[in-house]
Amino acid sequence: MSEIQKETSSSRLQFFPVMMFAVIMGFSGITLAYKKASEVFLLPEIIYQTLSYITATLAVIIALIYLAKLFKYPSEVKKEIKHPVRVNFFAAISISMLLLSTVFHDYESIAFPLFVIGTGLQTFFTFYTITYWLNKNIELAHSNPAWFIPVVGNIIVPIAGEGFADIYLLDFFFSLGIFFWIILTAILFNRIIFHGMLAQKFLPTLAIFIAPPSVGMLSYLKLQGAYDMFAVILFNVALTFGLILLALIKNFYKIKFFISWWAFTFPMAALTMAIITVYEKTSFEYLTFKVLGYASLIMTSILILIVLIRTIIAVKNGEICVDE
């Protein structure tokens, strides 16, 4: 490798963003969606099994690259975790671990350590981010739906922790996530409606509004089992946000590619899982949910394929891992 190539490679490592863990979240989400579809729609298990290996491989690659950055450029990582916007993406690391724990839930020797470490990191990032918000002079312009990740992301813990943790501990994380979901939704709607639309780079994060009620419903069902009125409300709110995103689709046509496009992927996968789960919980009586489930699964699959291709192109063109 020439000196120029070494310098370029080193430079890219220096600016490798923590936001790249959103790739793992997206692939974990679609893997779990296909796993649910194999159970309910009887799709071939080979699909989600293949996706699970792809997801695990990507997770190892991304984690190793970011660890290399941490050891070689610790000051850059420090800058990220003290940045008013990027700080929110560190919880994507812990959420990725929790999602991987769920993907490999049948393999306790893999799933349990991932759950324990993921929950520990999620707890740290939650309280670190909250204290960061309280101690710093955060401007309203810094707010965006990525704020959901470090605090509302706690609602994933009960899903990953099924069979691994005490019910009261799982209830705690669910309660924490739901509480901050309500608060942050109000704050972010106020910011978007009265203080201007998000910057183009962060427009894809609007999709994150879909994730909390979708995952919240799935988490609630893990804790309670019954598809009761609260679960119905969570599901209908998720559908509403999905329709809002569809209504805003023209806003996304001309957006330049950013790594933030991965923000579309996990929320859509979560909504897909929620729809398929509702079809299952309603005893397969509502054909509409079956049609919606298939449609959402196909749309999400195409979406992830498009974003993956655009990411590969951006990497080849040197548009990712650059100083901003």
Tokens 């989600």 correspond to: 48
Contact 151, 176 (CB under 8 A): yes
Would you give per-residue pLDDT tens digits along the chain (324 residues)?
454 444 455 678 888 999 999 999 999 999 999 999 999 999 999 999 999 999 999 999 999 999 999 999 999 999 999 998 899 999 999 999 999 999 999 999 999 999 999 999 999 999 999 999 999 888 887 889 999 999 999 999 999 999 999 999 999 999 999 999 999 999 999 998 888 888 888 899 999 999 999 999 999 999 998 899 999 999 999 999 999 999 988 888 778 888 999 999 999 999 999 999 999 998 877 888 999 999 999 999 999 999 999 999 998 888 887 776
Question: Of the candidates 207, 210, 213, which has an alpha carbon nearest to the alpha carbon of residue 248?
Answer: 207
Task: Report the 3 state secondary structure along 176-196.
Answer: HHHHHHHHHHHHHHHHHHHCC
- Return the pLDDT at 9: 57
Closest CA to 274 of 104, 33, 41: 33
Residue type for position 249:
I
SS3 156: helix
Q: What is the largest CA-CA distance in the chain?
A: 65
DSSP 36-87: HHHHHT---HHHHHHHHHHHHHHHHHHHHHHHHHHHH-HHHHHHHHTSTTGG
Q: pLDDT value at position 143?
A: 87
- What domains, with CATH codes, occur in the chain? 3-316 (1.50.10.150)
Rounded Cα distance between 233 and 228, Å, is: 9
CA–chain centroid gap for 247, Å, is 22
Q: Which tokens in the block code for residue 5? A: 């190539």
The dihedral over CA atoms of 264, 269, 274, 280, expressed in degrees to the nearest 10, equals 160
Separation CA 198–CA 200 (nearest Å) = 6
Q: How many CB atoms lie within 10 A of CB 41?
A: 15
pLDDT for 256: 87
- CB count within 10 Å of CB 255 equals 13
